[in-house]
Structure 1
Amino acid sequence: MTAALSEIRDDIKRIKVEVDLKNETCNTHVVKCNKEIDDLEKELKQILEDSMEGFRQEVCKIIDENKDSYSFISFFCEDKSFWVDKEERQINEFVEKSFTGYLYLFSRNFDDKISEVKRQIKEAQYKHTFKHVCMNENKVVLKCITEDLRDVCVPRDEVVGSDELTTQSAGSGCQKTQKTRKELIEALIQAKQELDKAETTRTELCDEVKQVKHDLDNLEKARQNVEDELKRTKEDLARVEREMEVAQTKILHIKGYYEWTQPAGTVSAKTSKDVVLLADIPTIKMSFTFQDGIQTHVHPSPGKPYKGGKFTGRLVFEGEALLVCRMMKAAFRRGRMFTVSKNGKVILDGVSLFNYKEWSSIFRAPLSHYTQKVKAELMAKGITEEDIDPTEELEETFIVDGLSMIEVVLNS
């Protein structure tokens, strides 16, 4: 029990010593705090004085500007008043002395002078204005300053902690650097401006996207139009090429018709049956008939008459002979089978005609030989199988005239 009482006595002495130390520390802090308050007071007074001094300087500047304006306007008014008196004296002098001519000359530029003076008066009145000086208190700012000054100095209490005897400063954990009201307002204004700028940018981007989409649509339409036009152009070019080929063919035909020597004549192709070796053989009888006429510039004796005639040939109604028949009609149409000789008669021009009476009564070999011979002769004149329509009728009768064929080619 004595030991316990001694321990309590030691604790009381220790606490008393700590209290004495804290009291001395508190007194020291009070002196320091009062000094800081005095320094803050001086700083705030200095800020206020600087602000007031700036306002006073602004007032003095406005007063100086007003004085300058007043001086300029006063000088201007005196100058123009002197000008008005001078002009008036001049007019009165001309009137009194009856200087009509001088008065007339003076009046010619008088209106321009008056207009110029009026313009100078308005310019002087609007350029050299007077500014009013007044003291308007910003009550909102004063209220904010008053409220903020209450929080400039905050007392800090030291609180005894737990059994570990630790001391903590109340609110020390939340003491952080805070922005001033002006900084917050500026930050808010900056954020609002950035937000407006972002909205404007978004709107511009949307408009730009719409414009790009519109341009893409227009480009797609233009591309489609170009493709359609290109397609039409290709079709037109192909048509022109075909027309040129046809025209070239026509020109060649026309050139051939102008130069051909075959006179106007009629051809008749008919099928029949002839008796050969006591057997009926189907044949094709071709008859070429020419009337008498007058020779042209391509004949041996232009202007003189020529004697016509009839030429007959036969082909067997089978195989390649049918092709040769159509080739002979094509050659006749092109004027390549007959011509006018030097003695003035129509004759064959390099193409053979074969009559069944010349066929062999024992073998038909000469018939196939004749077919190949005529085919070769026609091919030598430019009549080929490619020029023949296999569906063309064998039996037909038509007239061929060089001038008529030219008209047909031109019309076609």
Structure 2
Amino acid sequence: MASKQIQCEICFKEYAVGYCKTCGHIGDACVDIHNTGKVFQTHSVIMHEAVNVHEDDRENPKVIIRDASEERCKQHATERAIFLCTRHDTMICGRCLHSEHLSCGKEVVDLLREVGSIDCEKVNTMKSLLMEVKNEILLLKDDAENSKENFKTNADNCAQECIELGIKIKQRVDELTNVLIDEITKKHNENESTYSRITRTYNEKITWCENEERKIDQFVHNNMAGYLYLLSRKFDKGVSDVRSNLREIKHKHTFKRFEFKENRVILKCVFEDLEDVCEHQDEVTGSDDGSVNDVFEPTTEIQKTRRELTALSHKAKEYLDKSIKERLTVEAELKRTKADLNRVEKEIIDN
């Protein structure tokens, strides 16, 4: 694994450019000392190689490349971690093995003995498995992207259907409202016609009264007793006719009052039914057991309207009442039959 800039473990002033199996990481100056100093002639120095690194490591192209068995023990810096304790899942050195991991026994792996060379077959198997997992991930990712688009389209379609349903309900409400308004307008027009007829008749009768009153005043003023006598002969009948017409108008030509009253019970039922006009069904593309395309079963579809169900309920009640009456009749007949049987048995016994 690539490592970023590491300090020299001898002078701690430079970045390491090599690795001494005895001293650890060493910088340029310490490398020169290792090459010239007699004391270091027995030390083995490995220079770092320049390799392609991650973009974040470009400022330090020299990185350490070494195998796991060449790593230093975390507890003993001068020792190499050449053992793997599988029980504790940790790299250890010989000193750790003898001091802390003797009880682990066969669970300690000697990397120098067990891992001598790269097992190409194992590498190929691992890479093949990784490729399979990668392909599965890509397929699931494509599935998720397709599902996202499909369910977005589904959501848009559902929203549009809801809008269309709202328009349809509004149209029906407008139709029913218009029927009510037409009925109200019709009654209002009838009242207008009634008012016109009453007003016309009243005007005619007022005109008759005024004409008769003017004649009386004229005859009296001119001392025309004869015409006044002739007028009086038809006067009572005329007044009687007017009053008769007024009574007829009062009872025959009446105004029709109209009021708008909400039936709150029915209105509540309507609102409740609107909640059941359409139902939400959940569809999922996966489940806990790994199956796909699971769909929740929809509720039973309602085939009857409230009026139809009410009519069926009335019929069922009538049928039940009829059945009860027939049952009572049969029970009464059975009682009579049983009484007759008892009477016959008693007569046989007496004889």
Q: Please, what TM-score do these two structures have when normalized by structure 1?
A: 0.40
Q: Please, what TM-score do these two structures have when normalized by structure 2?
A: 0.46
Which of the pair has more CA radius of gyration?
1
